[in-house]
Amino acid sequence: MSQEIKLVLQDGSIFYGKSFGAKKSIAGEVVFTTGMTGYPESMTDPSYKGQIMCLTYSMIGNYGVPSDEMKDGMHTFFESDKIQVQGLIIDDYSDEYHHWNAVTSLSGWMEKHDVPGIYGIDTRALTKKLREKGTMLGKIIYEDDVEYYDPDKDHLVEQVSVKEPVMYGGGEKKIALLDCGVKNNIIRSFVERGVSVVRVPWNYDIFNNGISFDGVFVSNGPGDPKMCEATIATLRKAIEKGIPTFGICLGNQLLALAAGADTYKLKYGHRSQNQPCKEIGTHRCFITSQNHGFAVKDDTLPEDWETWFTNINDDTNEGIKHKDKPFFSCQFHPEATPGPVDTAHLFDKFIELLK
Residues catalogued as catalytic: 249, 333, 335
Q: How far apart are CA 84 and CA 213, in angstroms?
A: 30
CB atoms within 10 A of CB 1: 4
From residue 220, give the alpha-carbon distance in Å to each of 116, 185, 321, 322: 25, 11, 17, 20
Q: Minimal CA–CA distance to 50: which of 205, 187, 206, 222? A: 222
- String of DSSP letters for 70-85: EETTEESS-SSSS--S
φ/ψ of residue 184, rounded to 5:
-55, -35
Distance of CA 142 to the CA centre of its chain: 27
Which ranges constitute the DSSP H helices of 134-181?
A: 156-160
User: Is the link from the previous residue into 338 a cis peptide, with omega within 30 of 0?
Assistant: yes
Q: Minimal CA–CA distance to 24: which of 50, 49, 3? A: 3
Length of the chain: 355
CB 202 within 8 Å of CB 231: yes
Q: Minimal CA–CA distance to 48: which of 220, 276, 226? A: 220
Q: Strand 87-89 vs strand 116-119: parallel, antiparallel, or unpaired?
A: parallel
Q: How far apart are CA 180 and CA 231, in angstroms?
A: 9
Q: How far apart are CA 150 and CA 28, in angstroms?
A: 6
How far does the chain reach from its first CA to its final CA, in angstroms? Answer: 61
Angle (CA) 321-42-192 rounded to 5° is 60
